Amino acid sequence: MSCSNSQLENKKANDNENTVATLPVKSGTKLKADEVTRKNAGAMVQLVNDTSYQNAGKRKELSVSIQNKIDTLVKQCTMKGAEHDTLHAWLEQLLKDVKELKEERDEYIENYAAVKKDVESFYDIFE
């Protein structure tokens, strides 16, 4: 089963339940991501590593940009099986932290760091 917009909408609806998925990856074992997923994840890594986003004044710009990258990843997803399920678990945590980032709170640096860690963790899970 590949990703769909309805899955993303269901995921957004489930965000309010504050569930955190567990990533089913054995230590040292990486799953295969397809080329388009790697490309989209790489674009997110570049985005969060742009040091200009360390400024809280860029909160909205970063949250919109990262959400657009997530939307593109979901729309272009062709992964199946365990890799697909693991990708969605990874996205669930990322979406939770992006939601926190969007909120106008004083904890911007902590929220930014959480999103950055989530995005960069893609390479800990997938190859």
For the chain, list the strands marked E by DSSP. none
Residue 114 lies in a domain: yes
What is the total count of domains within the chain?
1
> Does residue 57 lie within any of the structural domains?
yes
**Which residues partner with 31 through β-bridges?**
126
Burial 60-87 (b: 16+ CB within 10 A, else e): eebbebbbebbeebbeebebeeebbbbb
Q: How far apart are CA 52 and CA 32, in angstroms?
A: 32
**pLDDT, tens digit, for every residue of 58-90?**
999 999 999 999 999 999 999 999 999 999 999
Asked if the structure places residue 23 within a domain, the reply is no
12 pLDDT higher than 50: no
How does residue 105 score in pLDDT terms, banded at 50, 70 and 90?
A: confident
Give the range of the structural domain holding residue 52, as residue numbers without chain letter.
5-11+34-125
What is the reported pTM? 0.79
